[in-house]
Amino acid sequence: MFGIPMPGSVFDDLWRLQQEVDELFGSWSAPLGIRSLPRGSFPAVNIGQTPERVDVYLFAPGIDPKSLDISLQQNLLTVSGNREIKIEEDVDYYRQERFGGEFRRVMSLPEDVDPDRVQAKYADGIVQISIERRESARPRQIQIH
């Protein structure tokens, strides 16, 4: 009733055309909820920091971690890959939210990260990338003599 027309309604064809255009060119509308991501924002990302390092968490279930291309140049972290989604030919989907295909995310990190001190781990569909900060940027305790 609200937002999705019922099959056979007057606006059904217009709604489907809008969905096809959104899929082709990307949706320009804002996400529908606080946990929603704009189309093409895969994988979902959390980024946290401490005085010693920056941690990036990529939520990529079902992806072989060896197929991911992860690079860090200056303070730009780039993650790209391909997510294969099995689509059944005899099913007529009326809603499909799981993203499939090539993806690329570029994240700007603090300028004091050290590109030579990066580690990546994969567990339970989550890739954790830890980037150490440069020693010169870390807080130091100064002794008074």
pTM: 0.63
- Asked if pLDDT for residue 135 goes beyond 50, the answer is yes
Q: Which CATH architecture has domain 37-137?
A: Sandwich (2.60)
- Cβ distance 30 to 22 under 8 Å? no
C-alpha–C-alpha distance, residues 42 and 1, integer Å: 30
HSE of 121 in the Cβ direction (CA atoms, 13 Å)? 6
All structural domains of the chain with their residue ranges = 1-30, 37-137
pLDDT, one tens digit per residue, over 57-115 is 998 888 888 889 999 988 899 999 888 877 788 888 777 777 677 888 898 999 889 98
